[in-house]
Structure 1
Amino acid sequence: MLSYLDEFFLIVIAHFFAVASPGPDFAIVLKQSVQHGRSNALWTSAGIALGIFVHVAYCLLGVAVVLSQSESLFNALKYLAGAYLLYIGIQALRAKAATGPLEEIKHDDKQESAFIALRRGFLVNVLNPKATLFFLSLFTLVISADTPSSIQAIYGLYMAIATWAWFSGLSMVLSKPNVRQFFHRAGHWFDRGIGVILVGLAIRVVAQ
């Protein structure tokens, strides 16, 4: 493993900038944290981390090479991802103003089950072309073809854990009562703003 430290450090740096940059994953964690609370956002973060394993799996199986060489297949993935982001964005755009005090949003925390939150995070990540492009580049340009599959799997495990830790940390901060109270005052405008971002991301995904 020591002989692959240089390669691992490159992956750590590349992954950090990828996970920290704004995108669909960040938008959905932000939305879930404010709308549904800490527990829901943590499950969403776990779903995003599980999505990483899908990207790693198809890269290890060689599907990444097929995707990188098949424009029609990659475009199909883009359109599917764009449709899903557009669906979530339109739902957010339809948000209505809160009519009760802050305490009432606590009831929203239980409206969406852990499974639905997990699935939401998983689908957003798996259908994110930005993530697909990142892993395509990582496994074809950064990681050597001579690196054993077992070592590559360890890289993947690290990225999944690091992704979970990053978004879980964001969930803890964004779901604090004072943060939720701030957004609750103009919650419908916040939801609509997130909706605009998600619709914009959907258009950008398809247009790229």
Structure 2
Amino acid sequence: MSPYLDEFILIALAHFFAVASPGPDFAIVLKQSISHGRRNALMTSAGVGLGILVHVTYCLLGVALVLSQSPELFNAFKYLAGAYLAYMGIQALRASAAPTAPQSAEAEPLTQESGMKALRRGFLVNALNPKATLFFLSLFTLVIDPGTPQSVQLFYGLYMALATWIWFSSLSLVLSKAAVRRFFQRAGHWFDRGIGVILLLLALRLVL
């Protein structure tokens, strides 16, 4: 592994800045943490991590090269991702006001959602994110040397999936704390609508 240490460090740094920048993944984990609680947010974070494996898989199989040479295919993928984000944004905009509770009351999830649905939500947001596609396309075609063994490239991919899961799980633990959730829940349905606007803007940005 030592001959590829410099390459790994470069990839790890690039991935850190990419995962830490606000985007669809952060928006959905934030919404899940506040609206559904810690368990759902952790499952959503796991889904985001699994979505990373989709990008790694098609890069290893060479599909990334096909995407880079076919603007029509990439545009179709981009519009599909934008439509999914827009759908989630519209759903959030339709949120209704919750019953007023005493400020001293324990924060509770506004709605219940199955863990599998939360996992699928996080997975689709990441797997259909063209920003992630461009990031992995750049890594596997420009940063990673073509002579790097596929086993080493697979290690890179597994590391990025694991690091993504840890990052968003850590955010989930912070954002789902009762005090944090009470703070956000005071805004009630306005918070959900704010996230809806963010998701719609992200969808527009991805398409344009």
RMSD: 1.1
Number of corresponding residues: 205
Write the distance in 1 (CA, Å) between the matches of 2:127 and 2:74.
13
1:173 and 2:138 are equivalent in the alignment = no
Partner of residue 137, structure 1: 138
Normalized per residue, which structure has more helix? 1
Write the distance in 1 (CA, Å) between the matches of 2:50 and 2:85.
18
Deviation readout 1:3-49 (Å, 9 max, x if unpaired): 00000000000000000000000000000000000000000000000
The gaps in structure 2 that reach 5 residues or longer are none
Write the distance in 2 (CA, Å) between the matches of 1:96 and 1:182.
18
1:100 Cα deviation (Å)? 3.8
1:104 Cα deviation (Å)? 7.1
Deviation readout 1:83-140 (Å, 9 max, x if unpaired): 00000000111111211425473463xx211100000000000000000000000000
Contact 2:44–2:118 (CA under 8 A) maintained in structure 1: yes
1:105 and 2:100 are equivalent in the alignment = no
Partner of residue 41, structure 2: 41
Letter in 2 for 1:161: L
The gaps in structure 1 that reach 5 residues or longer are none
TM-score (norm 2): 0.96
1:82 Cα deviation (Å)? 0.4
Contact 1:97–1:186 (CA under 8 A) maintained in structure 2: no
Letter in 2 for 1:7: E
Aligned-residue sequence identity (percent) comes to 74
TM-score (norm 1): 0.96
Write the distance in 1 (CA, Å) between the matches of 2:189 and 2:19.
27
Write the distance in 1 (CA, Å) between the matches of 2:191 and 2:161.
29
Contact 2:85–2:125 (CA under 8 A) maintained in structure 1: yes
1:18 and 2:21 are equivalent in the alignment = no
Partner of residue 54, structure 1: 54
Partner of residue 183, structure 1: 184
